[in-house]
Amino acid sequence: MSRNIPADNIKVKRAYEPPSPQDGERILVDRLWPRGISKDDAKLELWMKEISPSNELRKWYNHDASRQDEFRRRYAEELKAHQDLVEDLRERARKGPVTLVYSAKDETLNNAIVLRDLLLDR
């Protein structure tokens, strides 16, 4: 089996967007549950709190665009302690579509985007 993951097998989506069949396996990658979303409405297969940025890193970053590069570096460093979870996500994405679900308002500056890029070795 190929070790490469097709880029379109890993999607990112806000928790506030409705689930769709194209999402495949929906995995919440935030430390905190999205406000106002019920477990039934979220339609998640898994909640991987441990793979999200630490509270300290999340608060430091605060979705500040000027900190994006440093956030990526620090988050990648944190993920080294969770290689089992990273590899689990990669394996799931090799088998079929996976959607990394997040709750941040910013659709371009968030941990799910960074995680997707790291999973795809970008």
Bridge partners of 47, per DSSP, are 28
Which pLDDT does position 44 carry in this prediction? 97
- pLDDT above 90: percentage of residues in the chain: 89
Q: Give a yes or no: residue 97 inside a domain.
A: yes
Q: Give a yes or no: residue 1 inside a domain.
A: no
| Beta-strand runs (E) in the chain | 10-14, 25-28, 46-47, 98-102
Q: Give a yes or no: residue 17 inside a domain.
A: yes
Residue 42 has pLDDT above 50, yes or no: yes
Bridge partners of 101, per DSSP, are 13, 28
What are the angstrom distances between the C-alpha of 59 and each of 63, 80, 114? 9, 20, 16
Summarised one tens digit per residue, pLDDT across range 72-113 is 999 999 999 999 999 999 999 999 999 999 999 989 889 999
Q: Give a yes or no: residue 2 inside a domain.
A: no
Pick the closest to residue 110 from 100, 97, 121, 96 (CA basis): 100
User: Average pLDDT over the chain, rounded to whole?
Assistant: 94
Q: Give a yes or no: residue 98 inside a domain.
A: yes
The domain total for the chain is 1
Q: Give a yes or no: residue 78 inside a domain.
A: yes
Inter-residue contact 120 to 7 (CB < 8 Å): yes
* 88/51 Cα distance (integer angstroms): 11
The domain of 103 spans 7-119
Residue 71 has pLDDT above 70, yes or no: yes
